[in-house]
């Protein structure tokens, strides 16, 4: 069901410090990968992600470090992407790309973060264009449609991760949104960093719950 534009803004998403440097992102993404393997990956996925030695360590309750990202983007590639879109990416997104040019596993209904050369306007992507047209055909979705038309699509799967370059905070960060087309009501975050961190927090809470039950 397509919802009207009542954007939700979870207060807890403002709590985590904004990650802006490649070094900060590298540390966080390494922790993210370790937690993802521990909490989210099923048996079949683990076989694809880990070698035999790593699987044995995991079976024995040990820690497995796994990089789920890509090689860092070159500054030149980042600038080319910015020039193509006519924007300069916010600090947290730039820092992310300079640590990892894309990401392959997320705790969300998205397939992964696009590499910088595949970031595009939501209105120009095949899936984003279809969603925008569908929402535009139903009265009451005008605010959502305007949001879609001005946002950059940073990740997509069943859901979307979007960044709004017209909504800039005092720290230079763009407002970020997690949007599920089948439910509507985009969830707003103060930055790309906060949006990414929300998945880590969700996994961490589930991990704590599993340990409590154990």
Domains and CATH numbers, the chain: 11-205 (3.40.1580.10)
**CA distance linking residue 203 with residue 182, whole number of Å:** 23
Query: Which of 3-17, 150-164, 194-208 bottoms out in mean pLDDT, i.e. has the lowest?
Result: 3-17
CB 106 within 8 A of CB 201: no
The better pLDDT of the pair 205, 56 is held by 205
Q: For the chain, first and last CA: distance in Å?
A: 38
- Give residue 90's Cα distance to chain centre: 14
- pTM exceeding 0.75: yes
Contact 105, 203 (CB under 8 A): no
Cα atoms found within 13 Å of the Cα of residue 192, Cβ hemisphere only: 28
The pLDDT of residue 109 is: 85
Span 9-65, pLDDT tens digits:
544 444 578 999 999 999 999 999 888 888 777 666 676 766 677 767 767 777 777
What are 121-142's pLDDT values in tens digits? 999 999 999 999 999 999 999 9
């Amino acid at each position: 069901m397509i919802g009207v534009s009542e954007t939700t803004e979870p207060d807890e998403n403002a709590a985590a410090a904004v990650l802006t440097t490649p070094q900060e992102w590298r540390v966080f993404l390494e922790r993210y990968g370790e937690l993802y393997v521990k909490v989210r990956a099923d048996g079949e996925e683990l076989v694809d992600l880990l070698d035999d030695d790593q699987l044995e360590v995991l079976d024995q309750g040990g820690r497995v470090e796994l990089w789920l990202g890509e090689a860092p983007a070159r500054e030149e590639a980042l600038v080319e992407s910015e020039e193509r879109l006519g924007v300069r990416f916010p600090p947290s997104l730039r820092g992310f790309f300079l640590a990892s040019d894309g990401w392959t596993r997320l705790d969300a209904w998205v397939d992964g973060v696009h590499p910088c050369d595949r970031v595009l306007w939501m209105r120009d992507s095949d899936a984003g264009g279809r969603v925008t047209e569908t929402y535009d055909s139903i009265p009451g979705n005008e605010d959502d449609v305007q949001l879609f038309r001005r946002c950059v699509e940073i990740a997509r799967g069943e859901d979307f991760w979007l960044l709004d370059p017209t909504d800039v905070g005092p720290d230079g960060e763009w407002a970020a949104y997690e949007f599920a087309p089948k439910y509507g009501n985009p969830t707003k975050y103060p930055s790309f960093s906060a949006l990414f961190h929300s998945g880590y927090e969700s996994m961490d809470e589930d991990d704590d719950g599993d340990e409590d039950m154990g």
